[in-house]
Chains A and B, each alone.
Chain A
Amino acid sequence: MSEPAVPKPPAGGNGRLLPPDAGRDRPLFLVAAILVFLACVAALGARGAWLQAQTWTSDLESSLTIQIRPVDERDTTADAETAAEIARSMQGVRDATARTREHALALLRPWLGEGNLPDDLPLPLMVEVELDSETVRAGSFQPEALQARLDEAGLAATVDDHSRWAAAVRRAATTAQTLGLALLALVAGAAAAVVAFAARASLAARVDVIDALHLCGAEDRFIAGLFQRRFFMLGLKSGAAGAIFAGLVSILVSVGGSPADMAFFLPQWATDPFELILLALAPLLAGLTAAVSARLAVASDLRGRW
């Protein structure tokens, strides 16, 4: 037998060790993209709730109300003016405004209707006190001191520092935020589980490749690396799709405008760097989650071999 002439090796690079999946990964891509989308919405929602609560509590904390109770033989209007003056003289108060009887009636109108009130009905009057921002930030204003001064002046006045309301708002915001973060954790967990499941399935479908590589003396990390790279790319792509979609929805919601009470629950879109970073980070996190789940799945399969 004559030796044939040695031909040239084929040009081009190495073939891919993992065969392209030809659409098999598409459902996984979709599910992962949806999960990333939900996770982004949950994160943006939690952030929105936090921002909203910040605004609301700071509004509440930066003002006080003095209520002037109607007492026989006293002029509530004059008492309100006196209370406003006393308040203005306190350290940290930016302004104090005594509201008129008309204002008090206007507050009642939605409940009692127009003109159903006798002119001599005794009504409590309000004095709005605004604190300057530094005092609010330091939390140094003492409503008790104001109350004491008002009592000294012999006014039938009560100071309400809104702390009850602020605490309630803060509680609600914390609840919404916790809910958002819990949702985020659940969705991230579901995404990881789905990817791990898919990695195992893909592994089972590619057991011939693993066998061949394993018996040729491939190290575990070499084989795991193949699957890890594939799933990282898959996670990255579906993460990008999910994040872009979440961003679009967020823009739509903010452009469409949402009533204040709804904004509490819906993601807000501001040109806020935090949100952009979050949306940019989501694909990367999805990719890493996918890569780690795939690696763990492959490693556990390989440990089952010798």
Chain B
Amino acid sequence: MTASPHSDPEPVVRFDNVGMRYGRGPEILRDLSFDLPRGSFQFLTGPSGAGKTSLLKLIYLAAKPSRGLVSFFGRDTATLPRRDLPDLRRRIGVVFQEFRLLNHLSVFDNVALPLRVAGKKRSDYAEDVAELLAWVGLGDRMSALPPTLSGGEQQRVAIARAVVGQPEILIADEPTGNVDPEMGMRLLRLFAELNKLGTTIIIATHDLQLVRMVDAPVMTLSNGHLHIRPSRGRRQRDADQREAEGREALDAMSPPGTDTEAGDE
């Protein structure tokens, strides 16, 4: 599975020639065309200021593109009535770089927020929330207020809040920036677990070690343009295929019975 342009007939997110600018400023993002196929996992990297956060904002429906087409679950956002947006947002989980926890609410209440907003009853979700918090290692901090937590703990609260509603898309902006490598691994395992269950995942990160740990496509933004490097497995398959095609072509060209060395690198 790759993030190559329009290979999936029904991607969860499709960008088509998308450009974005703030006000009358220059275009921050230019001519972005890609699909996030259902159940895919990808990284987003690029130097600071390359527009990663702006691209994520487009994907979590916090900003509108200035041109081009963005569609979610097959629906064009330009023609979407405003009242349909909340429902769409509930299908998207976001881990913000700066967490955006509500400091007056307990850890438990922060994590339960998306469920509460969706109109669910506390008695229906309380145990799931507690279980999730235990899983991210915050089982004993459920009643704590975010300002009393360490950066890493806050980050885990933010992640728990993003995944609690079992979103179809999970967007994480530097989700392992504040945790030790062991917890980073654990969180990555959580993302992989969710991905196995069908969640489409996009992780923006500078952490190349993290990128190396998962064989996934890497989207790289620079100067507002997007470059997509397929996963190692895909590249290998493509290379194998090219090799096979090359061999076939050579086989066709060569007189029968002649050995060739085509395809060897």
Given contacts A4-B137, A215-B89, contact A306 B62 (CB under 8 A): yes
> Chain A 227-271 against B: per-residue CB contact (8 Å), 1 yes, 0 no?
000000000000000000000000000000000000000000000
Q: Is A136 an interface residue (CB 8 A)?
A: no
Most A C-beta atoms less than 10 A away, residue of B88, B102, B109: B102
Q: Of B87, B102, B118, which is within 8 A of A208 by CB?
A: B102
Q: Is A277 an interface residue (CB 8 A)?
A: no
Total cross-chain contacts (CB, 8 A) = 94
Q: What's the Cα separation between A81 and B1 when bound, in Å?
A: 119
- Pairwise interchain contact B126-A9, C-beta atoms closer than 8 A: yes
Q: What's the Cα separation between A250 and B246 when bound, in Å?
A: 101
> Chain A 202-220 against B: per-residue CB contact (8 Å), 1 yes, 0 no?
0000001101111111111
Given contacts A19-B104, A212-B100, A217-B90, contact A306 B112 (CB under 8 A): no
- Pairwise interchain contact B89-A216, C-beta atoms closer than 8 A: yes
Which residues A47-72 have CB closer than 8 A to chain B? Answer: none
Contacts of A13 in B (CB 8 A): 122
- Decide if the interface of chain A is mainly helix, strand, loop or mixed: loop
- Pairwise interchain contact A3-B135, C-beta atoms closer than 8 A: yes
- Pairwise interchain contact B139-A6, C-beta atoms closer than 8 A: yes
Report the nearest A residue to B144, measured CB to CB: A10
A36 to chain B, nearest CB (A): 30
- Decide if the interface of chain B is mainly helix, strand, loop or mixed: helix
Contacts of B88 in A (CB 8 A): 217
Given contacts A213-B113, A217-B117, contact A306 B142 (CB under 8 A): no
- Pairwise interchain contact A306-B126, C-beta atoms closer than 8 A: no
- Pairwise interchain contact B139-A10, C-beta atoms closer than 8 A: no
- Pairwise interchain contact B117-A218, C-beta atoms closer than 8 A: yes
Q: Is A15 an interface residue (CB 8 A)?
A: yes
Report the nearest B residue to A1, measured CB to CB: B186
Report the nearest B residue to A3, measured CB to CB: B135
Q: Is B227 an interface residue (CB 8 A)?
A: no
Q: What's the Cα separation between A215 and B59 when bound, in Å?
A: 12
- Pairwise interchain contact B85-A208, C-beta atoms closer than 8 A: no
- Pairwise interchain contact A217-B109, C-beta atoms closer than 8 A: no
- Pairwise interchain contact A212-B130, C-beta atoms closer than 8 A: no
Q: Is B116 an interface residue (CB 8 A)?
A: yes
> Chain A 12-25 against B: per-residue CB contact (8 Å), 1 yes, 0 no?
01111101100000
Q: Is B194 an interface residue (CB 8 A)?
A: no
- Pairwise interchain contact A222-B117, C-beta atoms closer than 8 A: yes
> Chain B 60-91 against A: per-residue CB contact (8 Å), 1 yes, 0 no?
11111000000000000000001101111110
Q: Is B170 an interface residue (CB 8 A)?
A: no
Q: Is B134 an interface residue (CB 8 A)?
A: yes
Q: What's the Cα separation between A1 and B131 when bound, in Å?
A: 16
Q: What's the Cα separation between A213 and B90 when bound, in Å?
A: 11
Contacts of B109 in A (CB 8 A): 14-15
